[in-house]
């Protein structure tokens, strides 16, 4: 099963992707994780994206499309994958279509988690206090404000792209983790 999971920052994409990994054996392809790993390893890409990420802006389409394309081409994915946090712009959505076409595979569902902006700051504060290695550089009020603006201005058009294609499934992401996981499972049942 190949899925795309989209939603606002702090909206639960990472946690829900991890559930899909644990319960269905999918491979999680998280561009945020790939970029954080690049920063950690001090690679050239890491150096390029460090400040952009810390302030809550989007990294260029070229960089993230390159990372995802490499992974999709080299990966074997017996049980499929879940793209977590990608695509985040219309350009990325179109580029992904090209990669999938070259690889001769399709996506089974695009799931968008719907979460009101008002609860995201609290969720991110909670995550910042819980992470073992300390808070992420972009888990602060100022960067979150930027990430939300970017989500509404740049990622919503990507979500609309999938809605127009008729492949978008929207899931209420406001409830607790188990309930949201059950809502996603219910959508997957219908595929
Ligand atoms: P995430 O872990 O998905 O919340 O992503 C953290 C940050 O990484 C974002 O705020 C962006 O700066 C960057 N990032 C992750 N995925 C993408 C993407 N698909 N396009 C552009 N920037 C991204």
CB 61 within 8 Å of CB 89: yes
Report pLDDT for 71.
96
In terms of DSSP bridges, do strands 27-30 and 81-84 run parallel, antiparallel, or are they unpaired? parallel
Sheet holding 109-114, edge to edge: 27-30, 81-84, 2-6, 109-114, 168-172
Correct CATH for 2-189 of 3.40.50.2300, 3.40.50.300, 3.40.50.1100, 1.10.520.10: 3.40.50.300
Report pLDDT for 162.
97
Report pLDDT for 55.
96
Report pLDDT for 123.
82
Task: Indicate if 36 belongs to the active site.
Answer: no
Percent of the chain with pLDDT over 70: 100
Domain boundaries, the chain: 2-189
Q: Is the pLDDT of residue 132 over 80?
A: no
What's the gap in Å between 144 CA and the centre of ligand 1?
12
What's the gap in Å between 166 CA and the centre of ligand 1?
25
State if residue 88 touches ligand 1 by the CB under 6 angstroms criterion: yes
58, 86, 146, 161: which to mutate for ligand 1, most atoms within 8 A of CB? Answer: 58
Q: Is the pLDDT of residue 143 over 80?
A: yes
Task: Indicate if 147 belongs to the active site.
Answer: yes
State if residue 63 touches ligand 1 by the CB under 6 angstroms criterion: no
Report pLDDT for 136.
80
Task: Indicate if 136 belongs to the active site.
Answer: yes
Report pLDDT for 125.
81
Mean pLDDT confidence for 150-176: 96
In terms of DSSP bridges, do strands 2-6 and 27-30 run parallel, antiparallel, or are they unpaired? unpaired
Task: Return the ligand 1 atom nearest residue 49 CA.
Answer: 12
Report pLDDT for 161.
98
State if residue 4 touches ligand 1 by the CB under 6 angstroms criterion: no
Q: Is the pLDDT of residue 117 over 90?
A: no
Percent of the chain with pLDDT over 90: 82
CA atoms of 168 and 152, how far apart (whole Å): 17
H-helix segments, 25-176: 31-41, 44-54, 61-74, 90-103, 117-130, 141-150, 156-165
Q: Is the pLDDT of residue 114 over 90?
A: yes
């Amino acid at each position: 099963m190949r899925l795309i999971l989209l939603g606002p920052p702090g909206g639960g994409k990472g946690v829900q992707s991890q559930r899909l990994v644990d319960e269905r054996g999918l491979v999680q392809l998280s561009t945020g994780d790939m970029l954080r790993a690049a920063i950690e390893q001090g690679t050239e890409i890491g150096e390029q994206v460090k400040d952009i990420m810390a302030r809550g802006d989007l990294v260029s389409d070229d960089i993230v499309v390159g990372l995802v394309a490499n992974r999709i081409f080299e990966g074997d994915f017996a049980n499929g994958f879940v793209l977590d946090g990608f695509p985040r712009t219309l350009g990325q959505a179109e580029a992904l279509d090209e990669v999938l076409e070259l690889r001769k595979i399709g996506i089974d569902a695009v799931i968008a988690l719907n979460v009101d902006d008002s609860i995201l700051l609290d969720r991110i504060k909670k995550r910042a206090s819980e992470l073992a290695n300390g808070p992420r550089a972009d888990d602060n009020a100022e960067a979150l404000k930027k990430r939300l603006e970017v989500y509404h201005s740049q990622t919503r058009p990507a979500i609309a792209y999938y809605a127009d294609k008729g492949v978008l499934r929207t899931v209420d992401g406001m409830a607790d983790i188990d309930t949201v996981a059950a809502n996603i499972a219910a959508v997957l049942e219908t595929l």
